[in-house]
A and B are shown apart, each in its own frame.
Chain A
Amino acid sequence: MTAGGANEVVVAGRDRYLSTVRELQSNGFELCADLCAVDYLGHMDRPLPEGAGRERFEVVVNLLSLSRARRVRVRVPVPESEATIPTLFDLYPGVEAMEREVYDLFGIVFIGHPDMTRILMPEDWEGHPLRKDYGIGRVPVQFKEAPGPR
Chain B
Amino acid sequence: MTEPSDPRSDAESEPRPDSDLAAPITDQSEWEPHPGADHEPAGLVAETSEGTQEMTPRATTEPGELRREVGAVLRLPEGAAVDPEDIDVERGEDETMIINMGPQHPSTHGVLRLMLELDGETVLRTKPVIGYLHTGMEKTGEDLTYVQGATNVTRMDYLSPLHNELVYSLSVESLLGLEMPPRSDWIRMLLVELNRVSSHLMWMATNGMDLGSTSMMIYGFREREMVLAFFEKTTGLRMNHNFIRPGGTAADLPDGWEDDVTVICDTVVERTHEYDELLTGQPVFRQRTEGIGTISAEEALALSLTGPILRSTGVPWDLRRSMPYLRYDEVEFDVIVGTFGDNFDRYSIRLNEIRESVRIIRQIVEKMPAGDYRAQDKKVTPPPRGRIDESMEALIHHFKTFTEGFRVPEGETYVAIESPRGELGCYLVSDGSSKPYRMHIRGPSFVNLQGLPVMMRGGLVADAVAVCSSVDPVMGEVDR
Contact = CB atoms under 8 A, between A and B. Distances in A.
Contacts of B411: 47
Interface string B313-330: 001010000111111010
Interface string A41-79: 011001100000000000010101010010101000000
B304 interface: yes
A5 B414 contact: yes
Contact of B423 (A33, A121, A122, A129): A33
A62 B173 contact: no
Q: Is the interface of B mostly helix, strand, loop or mixed?
A: mixed
B427 interface: yes
A111 interface: no
A46 B325 contact: no
Interface stretch (B87-95, B118-126, B442-450): B442-450
A38 interface: yes
A136 B174 contact: no
Interface of B: 130-131, 134, 136, 138-140, 143, 170-171, 173-175, 178-180, 185, 301-306, 315, 317, 322-327, 329, 410-416, 423, 425, 427, 429, 431, 437-438, 440, 442, 446-447, 449-450, 479-480
Contacts of A66: 301, 315, 317, 322
A64 B179 CA distance: 26
A119 interface: yes
A96 B302 CA distance: 11
Given A5-B174, A96-B450, 6 more contacts: A1-B327, A30-B301, A60-B427, A66-B301, A97-B449, A118-B131
B111 to A, nearest CB: 12
Q: Which of A5, A36, A98, A105 has the most chain B CB within a 10 Å cutoff?
A: A5
A142 interface: no
Nearest to B414: A62
A33 B305 contact: no
B138 A33 contact: no
Interface of A: 1-7, 30-34, 36, 38-39, 42-43, 46-47, 60, 62, 64, 66, 69, 71, 73, 92-98, 101, 105, 118-122, 129-130, 136
A32 B446 CA distance: 14
Nearest to B328: A1
Nearest to A34: B442
B131 A3 contact: no
A47 B325 contact: no
Contact of A120 (B134, B306, B440): B134
Given A3-B415, A5-B413, A94 B303 contact: yes
Contacts, number: 125
Contact of A129 (B139, B174, B327, B450): B139
Given A92-B302, A97-B447, A47 B413 contact: no
Contacts of A4: 174, 323, 325, 415
Nearest to A98: B447
B427 A69 contact: no
A62 B427 contact: yes
B302 A94 contact: yes
Contacts of A119: 130-131
B136 A129 contact: yes
A32 B143 contact: no
26 contacts: A1-B324, A1-B325, A2-B180, A2-B326, A3-B170, A4-B174, A5-B171, A6-B174, A34-B414, A34-B425, A34-B440, A36-B427, A42-B431, A42-B437, A60-B412, A62-B414, A66-B301, A66-B315, A93-B450, A94-B302, A94-B304, A95-B304, A98-B446, A98-B447, A129-B139, A136-B140
Nearest to B431: A43
Nearest to A68: B322
A47 B410 contact: yes
Contacts of A93: 302-303, 450
Nearest to A102: B440
A6 B317 CA distance: 20
A84 B115 CA distance: 29
A31 B447 CA distance: 12
B192 to A, nearest CB: 13
A25 B324 CA distance: 23
Given A33-B442, A34-B427, A136-B143, A7 B301 contact: no
A92 to B, nearest CB: 7
Contacts of A5: 170-171, 174-175, 413-415
